[in-house]
Structure 1
């Protein structure tokens, strides 16, 4: 095999590395503005395949007409240069698409589609021309021509695919965590141009590399933050990119009636449609659990879930597992109310969120004052399947907005949860509901939980969310139990101030739920076939909610 022929095969392999490397950066650029849901991934994968198809067709046509390897290397060089332009124009294009389509049904999907069309079409199409060109060039040199066509095409396809595999893992496991999405794009840009320069030995390609260096310098000089804090009245404290999320930590000042300012820290992920953790800084000064409450947000209600059982003593609540702990808002409330000796196992899939929780939210898992508090960086369902511990309460808030992982909504998942509960243990789920009160997601989760737990109860928060409670063993009349326990807690709170927070949340649950007081979820209310690992159409359900909200449906 000639030296030039061997180099061509190396080019095919390295082009595969670059092509999939660029593709894996796409969702990272989209996440802060449109999230990381399945429809967004569908845009990335679908449009990449479309660009590859166009590139294959175009490359084959041009290779037959101009079978010159210099043209192939120029395509690679231009792909690299265009790749270097993406970080500079990505933010304004993303902001434009997000703003223009914010009020449109399925706006996130359409916005992501527009951005991918504008930013990534040209470099990916150019890179896709490499395979057909390589096949044509090798057949031109082959001794037996068409007799080696199958072998030649197979070799080129295999090398390109192996390169794509390397590019995928190199980008996801090494480059993105170490240097971020923009620097990764500049690195691939330089890589492709250097590859083209080796093939062409043309000073003009060297100038392209200089342009990439200048663009990188301009980007680093002008870069401040990826985007401003997503919440109203917020000041951005930190932003990070992880393997799973674009993360923002912000400080927010809430002004109460009378002018009292309440500073707090909030955690937002990806497109920022929801707050995932809240920490009221006033608690640092007072140590009063009342100052951890979030005015009736869903975090406040997990601590009262055990009281659907009759004559429940707060001292009986001694263990808690939190699946999707984020920066630790809910475990912090459990520790403040039930005491520092409470055994808490918190599970969070994103280690960067845990790090930010320790830095900005006073996460207690490494504090000697709370010796039984442990954070596990793991997938919630995998962790649950591998632990042998039993708990009084298992909370679930691993549901990103607006989409939620299907495997945390199924009969099989809740069966695993039930198996890890103590006899009078409860499973607690934070279920989102739009401002209109559309309860389809709440009903679907309740219907699924009812297939596993003997009884399910609903607490409506002061906002739109619903808290679903599944009991391990029958509680009897859980609402009456809750009312009587609330009376007992009110008496205890007169002498034990840590129970005042329980007293207030139980009062909210009975009197200030946005859509009603605490109540049972009965089989006659269940409108959905329980979700299973085989069939859990949660994305389609949420798409329907989004569409209804967008058009103001009834």
Structure 2
């Protein structure tokens, strides 16, 4: 019975690790969107490097599990991965601020540096999460004859978690609590799994990890209410299901920007109908066409 419970918890660990790894990947795009946009090159860089980190994790995790096939090692690894996930939005904040200068001066070097630096922040947590599945397989392996069944079941459960991790940030977490808190939620979930696992097999080691969630929560509370993307003249900002939205007021004009802000999506000035842009031409379109109907044909509204 005890062995069955241990196996079940190992599968839960694989499931949550898969969930968080894909959740981090989807959330990474929203972390970068206010500064670099949401284009195919950005997505290619995110997906490519996440796959690279997972590849490294699979390789390292297999060797690590053979050298130290202990559940406590796996759960400690999961807790550290969760901590590093939670630190990403806070460490990346000053780094991403540098990219604003790059856009202002159209300096490619200043733009590229923060972009790569932020993506490198994901290397440690994602690599550690890549270690989880090989570790789980090693701990579940009782006989060589079970290798195929154990490996297949572990990767199926992990992939099921990844499916949920793909949907949760996009349809629930980011639109509801924002990108920063999405990272915090994923971090706390993975740390909880790791620390509960440690409490089951090594209670004293679990106590030594209690500072991890406290640190992430403290950082989240410290930056609560802080702007997502600090800039002059910002009077409103939010995150929708699709974009980062920012309204900036300059010299009496209000402009709506999305994501990195390279395009103006709406312009408004109180008391003025014309805005001095291509939008004004839409106002003269009715003068080039006859009315669609005459007043006497209007019977009801």
TM-score, length basis structure 1: 0.49
CA distances 1:238-284 after superposition (whole Å, capped 9, x unpaired)? 0010111110112221xxxxxxxxx222101111112111012123x
How many angstroms apart in 1 are the aligned matches of 2:284 and 2:109?
Answer: 36
Contact 1:84 1:215 in 2 (8 A): no
Is the counterpart of residue 195 in structure 1 residue 193 in structure 2?
yes
Is the counterpart of residue 298 in structure 1 residue 253 in structure 2?
no
1 or 2, which has the higher strand percentage? 1
How many angstroms apart in 2 are the aligned matches of 1:4 and 1:173?
Answer: 33
Distance of aligned partners of 1:135 and 1:94 in 2 relative to their CA distance in 1, 3 Å threshold: same
Give the 3-state SS of the residue equivalent to 1:72 in structure 2: helix
Distance of aligned partners of 1:100 and 1:107 in 2 relative to their CA distance in 1, 3 Å threshold: closer
1:252 corresponds in structure 2 to 250
1:537 corresponds in structure 2 to none
2:161 corresponds in structure 1 to 163
Q: 2:222 aligns with which of 218, 221, 238?
A: 218
CA distances 1:85-111 after superposition (whole Å, capped 9, x unpaired)? 122222211122453576345976665
Q: 1:235 aligns with which of 226, 233, 236?
A: 233
How many angstroms apart in 1 are the aligned matches of 2:65 and 2:266?
Answer: 55
> Of the two, which has the highest radius of gyration?
1
Give the 3-state SS of the residue equivalent to 1:251 in structure 2: strand
2:61 corresponds in structure 1 to 59
1 or 2, which has the higher helix percentage? 2
Alignment RMSD: 2.3
Give the 3-state SS of the residue equivalent to 1:67 in structure 2: coil
Task: Give 1:43 deviation, angstroms.
Answer: 1.4
Distance of aligned partners of 1:228 and 1:207 in 2 relative to their CA distance in 1, 3 Å threshold: closer
How many angstroms apart in 2 are the aligned matches of 1:298 and 1:236?
Answer: 24
How many angstroms apart in 2 are the aligned matches of 1:171 and 1:105?
Answer: 30
How many angstroms apart in 2 are the aligned matches of 1:163 and 1:224?
Answer: 32
In the TM superposition, 1:105-116 aligns within 5 A as 105=108, 111-116=114-119
1:208 corresponds in structure 2 to 212
1:316 corresponds in structure 2 to 291
How many angstroms apart in 1 are the aligned matches of 2:292 and 2:265?
Answer: 25
Give the 3-state SS of the residue equivalent to 2:241 in structure 1: coil
Contact 1:43 1:112 in 2 (8 A): no
How many angstroms apart in 1 are the aligned matches of 2:102 and 2:7?
Answer: 49
1:276 corresponds in structure 2 to 265
Give the 3-state SS of the residue equivalent to 1:250 in structure 2: strand
1:265 corresponds in structure 2 to 254
Give the 3-state SS of the residue equivalent to 2:18 in structure 1: helix
1:90 corresponds in structure 2 to 92
How many angstroms apart in 1 are the aligned matches of 2:256 and 2:106?
Answer: 24
CA distances 1:443-497 after superposition (whole Å, capped 9, x unpaired)? xxxxxxxxxxxxxxxxxxxxxxxxxxxxxxxxxxxxxxxxxxxxxxxxxxxxxxx
1:103 corresponds in structure 2 to 106
